[in-house]
Amino acid sequence: MEPVLCIERLSVGYAQRAANLEAVQQVSLAVAPGECLGIVGESGSGKTQVFMAAMGLLSRKASVSGSVRFAGSELLTAPPSSLNRVRGSKLTMIFQDPMTSLTPHLKIGVQLAEVLVRHAGMSWRDAWVQAGLMLERVQVPEHQRRLRQYPHELSGGMRQRVMIGMSLLCEPLLLIADEPTSALDATVQAQIIDLLRTVREGIGMALVLISHDFSVVAGLADKILVMYAGRVVECATAADLLSHPRHPYTAELLKCVPTLSGPRLQRLPTLAGQPPRPGEVSAGCAFAPRCPRAADRCRSERPPLADSADSQVACHFPLSS
């Protein structure tokens, strides 16, 4: 089946003074219809940049190259008018902080209905009714009253429900959720993840879930892609990657996740060192300085992303699966 989103050799750079900062380098990935792809990486690894570039949301200062095909058509070279037809209807995105994604001075109902008026050509009256139904679907209690409220009158969890509802109005083929639960409490987090699972199954939509937190991604993703310093280091099915990580970075990162079982630790495991600073380039593997398995070759020669049956890993000395 043809993927709904296909990114090929995407690079994002920022010209700064004399140097060019490479935020994303040669990233390729594909999302199949109905599939959930989890993107994991530390802050600064470029995970958000990839999808901001795909959506055409980066500032003009960014230089983007490569190809992003959505439902068969190229997005990177598309004119704004055709981008605007796709964005917010068939290709939608939600962010970490729902407060900054909502317009503070417009009622929730107006903001929801506007999407349908614009993209589906509905009348305001019909759109308002649909907005109410959508709030009910994303389990916002007292949805009729909520329609007439302003964003600040809602809790963080409710606002994120509104954002999810808004992103679903036109039955998107793909929803990109960038850290959708990071600003929320554990209990609310679980509810939002549950909601994403339910709505995804309901309309068979594909989902890209970006998070720095494995536990968020683990519950939903079919496939997980790990990024480090602007590159893909590993991509595999969620079950394989979580139980048998092959890239040392994935393995070390998983070790850092505190657990609710096992003995209570006096100190938490950490990943030694720091990720490379933007603009810091190395000939070899970017993770080599922090890697317990690194050899001379890793410092001089960059490992390519090697394909095997169901997974990809960019490492000279991967762990055995």
Partner 1 sequence: MQVQDLRVDFGSHVALRGLSFELFAGETLGLVGESGSGKTTLARAILRLLRAVRGRVEFQGADLLTCDREALLARRRNLQIVFQDPLASLNPRLTVGESVGEPLKIFEPALTAQARRRQVDAMLERVGLRAESASRYPHEFSGGQCQRIGIARAMILGPKLLVCDEAVSSLDVSIQGQIINLLLDLQRDAAMAMLFISHDLAVVRHVSHRVMVIFLGRTMEIAPSDALFAAPIHPYTRALLSAIPAGLPAARIATLHAKTEGCTYCNRCPFAIEVCELSEPPLAEVAAGHWVACHRSHETLNPLSLQS
Positions in the binding site for partner 1 (CB under 8 A): 42-44, 139-142, 155-158, 182, 184-191, 194, 212-214, 252-253, 256-260, 264-271
Cβ distance to partner 1 smaller for residue 202 or 273: 273
Smallest separation, CB 281 to partner 1 (Å)? 19
Q: Give the residue among 22, 27, 57, 56 at the shortest CA–CA distance from 39.
A: 27
Cβ distance to partner 1 smaller for residue 142 or 171: 142
94 neighbors 82 (Cβ within 8 angstroms): no
Smallest separation, CB 158 to partner 1 (Å)? 8
Cβ distance to partner 1 smaller for residue 78 or 190: 190
Cβ distance to partner 1 smaller for residue 26 or 149: 149
Cβ distance to partner 1 smaller for residue 140 or 242: 140
Cβ distance to partner 1 smaller for residue 202 or 269: 269
Smallest separation, CB 66 to partner 1 (Å)? 26
148 neighbors 179 (Cβ within 8 angstroms): no
Smallest separation, CB 267 to partner 1 (Å)? 5
Cβ neighbours of residue 189 closer than 8 Å, sequence gap 6 or more: 181, 216
Smallest separation, CB 42 to partner 1 (Å)? 4
C-alpha dist (Å) from residue 310 to 126, 223, 224, 233 = 46, 10, 12, 14
Smallest separation, CB 182 to partner 1 (Å)? 7
Cβ distance to partner 1 smaller for residue 126 or 213: 213
Cβ distance to partner 1 smaller for residue 47 or 69: 47
Smallest separation, CB 291 to partner 1 (Å)? 13
Mapped onto helix, strand or coil, the DSSP state of residue 70 is strand
Residue that is written with structure tokens 């554990």 in the block: 186
C-alpha dist (Å) from residue 69 to 8, 65, 76 = 8, 13, 8
C-alpha dist (Å) from residue 297 to 206, 245, 250, 288, 303 = 39, 21, 20, 10, 9
Between CA 161 and CA 188 the distance in angstroms is 10
Instruction: Quote the strand ranges of the chain, DSSP E.
Output: 5-16, 19-31, 36-40, 62-70, 73-74, 91-94, 174-178, 206-211, 223-228, 231-237, 306-307, 312-313
Task: Report the length, in residues, of the chain.
Answer: 321
Smallest separation, CB 5 to partner 1 (Å)? 25
